[in-house]
Amino acid sequence: MGISYVEFEDDAGVLQRYRKHVNGRGLVATTAKVDPTAFIDKTAYVDPGAQVHRHAHIGPGGWIDRDAVVAERAVVGVNAHVGRRAVVGRSAEVGSHAEIGADAKVHNGARVARDTVVEAGSAVEPSVSDLRRLGLAA
């Protein structure tokens, strides 16, 4: 049994090839780097050049845009979008239906609430309760 691919035409009319990820069966561009321990839901997408690190979790309908990074143990919720070149740090959480703008950064351990829009180029720092959740604050 060979590897099967799905092809989509991007906004520029270029054909992009995706394959199903081993853990969750979500679609991952052939030029994206996704660790085998990451979970990509079967209805989620990881676009070209993106990276999803160890034990990260991309929920149903999640979309990791071009050249974005989702770090180790980060969680991207249902129908959340991580924009182009955005970074979601280690153990960070992006809530359901949240939108992370292009070039934005969600720092390690930070939480983005559901339905929140993080503007392009901005940053989200972890709160004291976020740090406590990770055992990093008194």
Question: 75-111 pLDDT, tens per residue?
Answer: 999 999 999 999 999 999 999 999 999 999 999 999 9
Characterize 104-113 residue by residue with b for buried, 16 or more Cβ atoms within 10 angstroms of its Cβ, and e for exposed. bbbebbbbbe
Task: Please state, in angstroms and rounded to a whole number, the distance separating the CA atoms of residues 79 and 94.
Answer: 10
Determine the pLDDT at residue 1: 46
Residue 24 placed within a domain: yes
Determine the pLDDT at residue 132: 77
Residues of the chain with pLDDT under 50: 1
Residue 132 placed within a domain: no
CB-based contact 18:36 (threshold 8 Å): no
Residue 26 placed within a domain: yes
Residue 138 placed within a domain: no
Residue 45 placed within a domain: yes
Task: Please state, in angstroms and rounded to a whole number, the distance separating the CA atoms of residues 78 and 93.
Answer: 11
Determine the pLDDT at residue 71: 98
Characterize 2-33 residue by residue with b for buried, 16 or more Cβ atoms within 10 angstroms of its Cβ, and e for exposed. eeeeeeeeeeeeeebebbebeebebbbbeebe
List the one residue out of 90, 30, 73 whose CA is nearest residue 46: 30
State how many domains the chain has.
1
CA torsion sign, 69 to 86 to 106 to 112? negative
Total residue count of the chain as it appears in this document: 138
Q: Which CATH number characterizes residue 98's domain?
A: 2.160.10.10
Domain extent at residue 113 = 5-127
Residue 112 placed within a domain: yes
Task: Please state, in angstroms and rounded to a whole number, the distance separating the CA atoms of residues 19 and 21.
Answer: 6
Residue 103 placed within a domain: yes
